[in-house]
Chains A and B, each alone.
Chain A
Amino acid sequence: MTNAITIEHVNKVYDGKVTALKDVSFNVEEGEVFGLVGPDGAGKSTLFNILTTLLLPDSGKISLLGMDVINEYKSVRQIIGYLPGVFSLYPDLSVEENLQFFAVMYKSSIEENMELIRPIWKQISPFSDRKAGKLSGGMKQKLALCCALIHCPKILFLDEPTTGVDPVSRKEFWDILKSIRTQGITVVVSTPYMDEATRCDRIAMIQEGQILGINTPSAFIRDFQGKLYTFRSENIFSLLNIMEQCPLRCNYYPYGEHCHIAFYDDVATALPQFEQFLQEQGQSHGEIIAIDPSVEDCFIEIVQMRNALNQTQP
């Protein structure tokens, strides 16, 4: 596999005080859907802006298909498509005019690359005369995606395309990404939704400007350190207070309608001890069942371990 993107030791500090990126290094392979997963403020957008030649890093080296993002920025811009985190189309132009504008800017035409965008365009073409500013959120995103694809880029950058989007539209958007992937376009996408991470080939978990880990979703799940169990309780949040007194090495948290607990001791002894603890605290609960972790469980574990490490090494 050749690399579409290589990132080596990238740092970025704003105004000499706010560290946005701290020694970030990773590669993205050609043709893969690569996810950057992390909360707002983790540095995702800063990284996108550097990768798309809009912002200079303080140090480090980045190349896209062998081209340097600083010295060869003009060539880089020809081969990338970028959907920024904020709506950046012209609200006063119609849907079709926006698309035409982006095609012309890249010296292309709508007809030339219609094949690539056809599945998405079909959904918005009934509104082709409507002003882009008057579209619903989901439609705006689809138009923005068409505009980012209309020059047939080799690498597509999507900065939080589904934030604030409802679950149904989110699923539709990811179905579209899947079809783009089959065209051989490399996709780098950021999201705060952990469930979307499983739809990427590989993901990088990022927090406070640092990469916490890079792997396939299934490898993250395989490498989960604890033994994870789930159960039902009437008091999933008040259990948080009670668990502070639990002597076991474990991590408890609510997870939808369920409670999750990861044990870091031998479960053969930890599990009965935990059941006894709940009983002593007068907590009734459903059956405690072993389960496979989700990417969200993995993120929680990795962040908790990192926080614990930071506390012991000030």
Chain B
Amino acid sequence: MNSIEVHDLTKQFGAFTAVNHISFEVREGEIFGFLGANGAGKTTAIKMMSGLLQPTSGTAIIAGYDVRTQSKLIKRNIGYMSQRFSLYNDLTVFENMQLFGTIYKIPRKELKERIHTSLKELDMDQHANTLVEAIPLGWKQKLAFATAILHRPKIVFLDEPTSGVDPIVRREFWKLIYDTASTGVTILVTTHYMDEAEYCNRISIMAEGELKLIGTPDELKKKMAATTINDVFVKFVRR
């Protein structure tokens, strides 16, 4: 079953076409890498898929809902985490999760249990009452992810989630992504680390608003006669 079905999705800002007739599908439980150069249109596409921005034309069915008419239902069924993660520094770890859980209307008792389970999995249960500003960046990133999936979304959008963290934390973060995907949650992730692109089931590469390449990392390497995804990317964008 597909979690994401995008067909001819287009967004124009005045005379400028940010996203130009892109079409693709993402299966349930798939880890999909959404790559592209800066300014290629990735963020605009993600905004449309998450119901934050209305497309100029085309359709997108996200978790079974239409972005044009059911954006509220979409927001309830997706999670979102960006590189500038949205945690509140002057709230504690627990309070941050409580805030987001409450916004998603998770019943109070249920929410408390979910937060405890989640913090235990992250090995952070000792720090539930620590202010977020006092915890290391790597923890913040993992906490932001756990918060984004607290309401059990069907799809999670991750916009450069590992930007600026060290190589060990990056791998710990990807372990979280894998564990989450294995429970059937669909992951759409952007990254500028090309080794991380190799961790995805499939990837796409956008350039100038168009979706130019899509396939498994191995397929793309074969197609572009390259040995790594970095080579694919460089060859492709330089063309």
A residues in contact (CB < 8 Å) with B: 38-42, 136-138, 160, 163-171, 192-194, 207, 236-238, 240, 253-257, 296, 299-300, 303-304
Contacts and interface: CB of A to CB of B under 8 A. Distances in A.
Given A169-B38, A240-B175, A256 B228 contact: yes
Interface stretch (B87-95, B109-117, B163-171): B163-171
23 contacts: A39-B138, A39-B165, A40-B164, A40-B165, A138-B39, A164-B38, A164-B160, A165-B192, A167-B233, A168-B233, A168-B238, A170-B192, A192-B163, A192-B165, A207-B166, A237-B174, A238-B178, A256-B198, A256-B199, A256-B229, A257-B217, A296-B167, A303-B166
A240 B229 CA distance: 23
Contacts of B198: 256-257
Contacts of A163: 163-164
Interface string B144-188: 000000000000000010011111110100110010000000000
A138 B168 CA distance: 28
B178 A164 contact: no
B83 interface: yes
B192 A166 contact: yes
A137 B178 contact: no
A255 B194 CA distance: 11
A207 B137 CA distance: 12
B140 to A, nearest CB: 9
Contacts of B192: 164-167, 170
Given A163-B164, A168-B238, 14 more contacts: A137-B38, A160-B164, A166-B233, A166-B237, A167-B192, A167-B194, A171-B234, A237-B178, A240-B175, A256-B195, A256-B229, A257-B198, A257-B218, A299-B167
B164 A300 contact: no
Report the contact-size class of chain B (Cβ under 8 Å from the partner): 35 or more
Nearest to A170: B192
B230 interface: yes
Nearest to B162: A192
B174 A255 contact: no
A81 B224 CA distance: 40
Contacts of B233: 166-168
A296 to B, nearest CB: 5
A41 B37 contact: no
A193 B166 CA distance: 9
Contacts of B36: 166
A42 B193 CA distance: 19
Given A169-B38, A240-B175, A304 B168 contact: yes
Contacts of A42: 166
A192 B194 contact: no
B234 A167 contact: yes
B14 interface: no
Nearest to B194: A167
Pairs of residues from A and B, 5 with the lowest C-beta to C-beta distance, nearest first: A39-B166, A40-B164, A256-B195, A237-B178, A257-B198
Contacts of B107: none
Interface in B180-239: 192-195, 198-199, 217-218, 228-230, 233-234, 237-238
A167 B218 CA distance: 19
B45 to A, nearest CB: 16
Contacts of B165: 39-40, 192
A257 B194 CA distance: 10
Contacts of B39: 136-138
Given A236-B199, A257-B217, A192 B166 contact: yes
Contacts of A41: 136-137
Interface string B20-50: 0000000000000000111100000000000
